[in-house]
Structure 1
């Protein structure tokens, strides 16, 4: 069970086996029963089993079930979850700042919260469930779009716009670093395999001294790890901090031109975008000023497609990083600029559609969370026309 996805099979969540072969101390959880991570409840790690008849769960979890048929399981779960995430259970927990908190079931069971009549509980579950179905559909669409983009871009980034109709030639040299796909032996006849530094200038970033107030709060945008989410967009148009010309002059940072391709090489490795305006960056980014034979938007799409290659090139046990010498050896396939732009246009069309759907999902999640807070607290009551559908079921076991 995870704090975000509830009950899942271990092989669906972990890439390796994490459970012991001796399951003697494991606990059985049956359909309709609850389980929570005794030391992770404050992170929202609680759920009840809905999709399986039974399962084994780690000894670190506490399993329990509701004793009253006047409480809807879904409403109970939603209350447990929101109280856990809001810190309402913290006074009942053991442990401090540097120690994992834990809460005994006896303390959890003593906690009290108000609930409406059973019919209204079920109506609340129906309303919130309908929004969650819409969220699930949005997530499925995002996944389908991402899969479609990956398949489309693999073809475009290796065979070009003409696809199977393109005249081909053997790969002119060994492709060592920067592969967009495995097993590529031939490329279109008018393409080439080049070292990226031959067609773009590699620039690192730097952080001006934090001890110099006159280096900061200027008018030069400065991209840092705080801005990595901005790299999800096709262009970075703002930063959380700005520096002064004096800060630039007294550091190794440089103001890079518009359309510089920026790549996150630490923390969120693999994110790439291009600068909408001249900017400087921290040392957490590898920046590429493209020459006349390389279209910046094309390079962004190449980088975004290279997830498996970035995974292979990362180093470090705790904090994964791609070091600058690696970038100096990167090779890319280089079509004519007109074809680069057409390939980039296709990739960007996918990215814009995915971004639009992610925004839709964000709005749905926000609406779900706000409505849940109001309905479960009783500040908003559902109209009788919705509740009445559940009144004839109120006598049934919850």
Structure 2
């Protein structure tokens, strides 16, 4: 049986354009509201003194108002004013509207998150490509499928429940990341011991490669070494793109297109492969399994291990570990060094870490048995974090698919859910 679509109504039938003007005073400061792209809500964009404002008039936004940025409708700059941003001010670029009694602001927020709404709004903009704007008059002409108020509220409640689950997983991920950072800082500088390990002063000055600030002592059986003394540094290269015979071979070739794969503990697949001829006629080398690969350009700081022999582009610094260095330990050291990588990046357009820096890196070197134990702890965190991130990804995909179906009317909620929202006149929408 086909599902009857929701009736389509113009926004002007359910929204009222409101203006709450004030004249800025030179001796006062004003919080300016901003609307995030992709219907991600409102925020405090800036606080500015009245004397520095170019706009002769500001308009105040109230909680529950509908607001949008005239210039960025194609980016989904539509929102419902939150409690936290209520009372902030907007310029004429941020028109505001009050929902009428037969529309739910929460429902509209989910409707605004649909990319099809942005594309529709963009089609109604006027002006040149760089200065196209959606006027309030045209905004109110936009059509929107709208079920009954009870069904709007029911849909919003269902989607909010999924969003709450997503937020809970995100909070868990953040807690795990913080716990890993605190744990790894301790064991990467003091080790894993049942009893407190005897310590000694650092044998030399630690200049590059620090995993934490203020480290002056380390366990007595550890050392501070230049990384190139315990691992061979290898750069990568890109075979000529003009030679078809160099490409589509059987040798995995890691490039910037694969940096997301470095989130895993081991890299197995690459987006491109090269031929033996391509390797022979370039500076690229096939590196052995367990080579530690580090992204030094664009997404600086990602690190993993090669699950099988492969080559890389010049965007990576690769480390073939010697017998005294456990590859999994080096990965955890690199992953913990976010602040150090931030400090060492150079470049104006694209941030990078240049190869001479890697030649000077120093690391703390415990015995290999302890290196492996430290790596095991770090990897346990990484595996759990990756699992929760996948859970969140699936939840987001399910929410987006569910929202698309519910908001279009292709899927309808059971009457048993909708009925709870009937006869709630006067309650918040």
Task: Give the alignment's TM-score, normalised by structure 2.
Answer: 0.87
Aligned residues: 390
RMSD, aligned α-carbons: 1.9
- Counterparts of residues 1-398 of structure 1 (less than 5 Å): 1=34, 2-3=36-37, 5-10=40-45, 19-22=47-50, 24=53, 25=55, 26-52=58-84, 54-57=86-89, 59=91, 61-83=93-115, 87-94=119-126, 99=130, 101-162=132-193, 165-394=196-425, 396=427, 398=429
Q: How far 1:116 moved relative to its partner? A: 0.3
Q: How far 1:392 moved relative to its partner? A: 2.2
Q: How far 1:105 moved relative to its partner? A: 2.2
Residues 298 and 341 in structure 1, CA contact (< 8 A), matched pair in contact too? yes
What is the CA–CA distance in structure 1 between the aligned matches of 2:66 and 2:194, rounded to whole Å? Answer: 53
What is the CA–CA distance in structure 2 between the aligned matches of 1:326 and 1:100, rounded to whole Å? Answer: 44
What is the CA–CA distance in structure 1 between the aligned matches of 2:117 and 2:196, rounded to whole Å? Answer: 56
Residues 160 and 188 in structure 1, CA contact (< 8 A), matched pair in contact too? yes
1:358 is paired with a residue whose SS is helix
> Considering only CA atoms, is the larger Rg found in Structure 1 or Structure 2?
2
Residues 42 and 85 in structure 2, CA contact (< 8 A), matched pair in contact too? no
1:175 is paired with a residue whose SS is coil
Q: How far 1:28 moved relative to its partner? A: 2.4
Q: Gapped runs of 5+ residues in structure 1?
A: 11-17
Q: Gapped runs of 5+ residues in structure 2?
A: 1-33
What is the CA–CA distance in structure 1 between the aligned matches of 2:131 and 2:174, rounded to whole Å? Answer: 34
2:289 is paired with a residue whose SS is coil
What is the CA–CA distance in structure 1 between the aligned matches of 2:310 and 2:87, rounded to whole Å? Answer: 53
Q: How far 1:56 moved relative to its partner? A: 2.5
Q: How far 1:289 moved relative to its partner? A: 0.5
What is the CA–CA distance in structure 2 between the aligned matches of 1:387 and 1:351, rounded to whole Å? Answer: 42
What is the CA–CA distance in structure 2 between the aligned matches of 1:359 and 1:42, rounded to whole Å? Answer: 29
What is the CA–CA distance in structure 1 between the aligned matches of 2:186 and 2:42, rounded to whole Å? Answer: 37
Q: How far 1:68 moved relative to its partner? A: 1.9
Residues 29 and 57 in structure 1, CA contact (< 8 A), matched pair in contact too? yes
What is the CA–CA distance in structure 1 between the aligned matches of 2:79 and 2:137, rounded to whole Å? Answer: 18
Residues 227 and 239 in structure 1, CA contact (< 8 A), matched pair in contact too? yes
Moved segments of 4+, more than 6 Å: none
1:222 is paired with a residue whose SS is strand
- Structure 2 match to 1:14: none
CA distance 1:62–1:8, change in 2 (3 Å): closer
